[in-house]
Amino acid sequence: MSPLCMSELSLAEEILGDGLVLMRPRPADAEQVIAICRAPSIAQNTSVPADYQPHDFEAFLQLAQAAFSGRIGGHYVIREASDGPILGAVGVGINEWGAEAGYYLDQSARGRGIAFRALQVVTVAALSQDVERVYLRIMRGNSPSVRVAERAGFVFAETKQHQPAKGCGVDLETVDIEIYERVAV
């Protein structure tokens, strides 16, 4: 992976697409997001802390604020209706390697195509701008995320071995990370 020069990714704070409502997270979302993030499968497969706390949610709000105001991406909660329950989160943000996307879902929302649809919506939004590449970092062995990525048009690019494991909340272990990417056509 070589660095790319990117300076801006300006996304709407709410995106409607493919039967989903992607909304910028709000303080009122705290209880639902905290409950979703405390599921063991989230920490095992993402960089979300294992014992997700209110201060972690505050950091998520700040990350979303910085992305939208800095025009460097967008972070969203996923719903099927504006007033419906939160099903998970999805986001995309630029860095020197392109635009990194990520997502997680509540256990009850899995197996319904929601991760695929949410990833597809933010990927298309990013690629419709001057973004040349959107990529995902997937922990080796997370076959459900690989299926989501491939269904959304991402292809395997490389493996980064012995990366710090962040899902457990401490960087004591390392994991192999598979990079999947989708490039603009």
Residues counted in the chain: 185
What does the domain layout of the chain look like in residue ranges?
A: 9-132
CA-to-CA distance for 146 and 168, rounded, in angstroms? 21
pTM of the model: 0.90
Per-residue pLDDT of the chain (185 residues; tens, 9 = 90+): 444 545 689 999 999 999 999 999 999 999 999 999 999 889 888 888 888 999 999 999 999 999 999 999 999 999 999 999 999 999 999 988 889 999 999 999 999 999 999 999 999 999 998 888 999 999 888 999 999 999 999 999 999 887 776 554 444 477 888 999 999 88
The answer to whether the CB of 6 falls within 8 A of the CB of 131 is yes
Closest CA to 60 of 36, 41, 84, 83: 36
What is the topology classification, in CATH, of domain 9-132? Aminopeptidase (3.40.630)
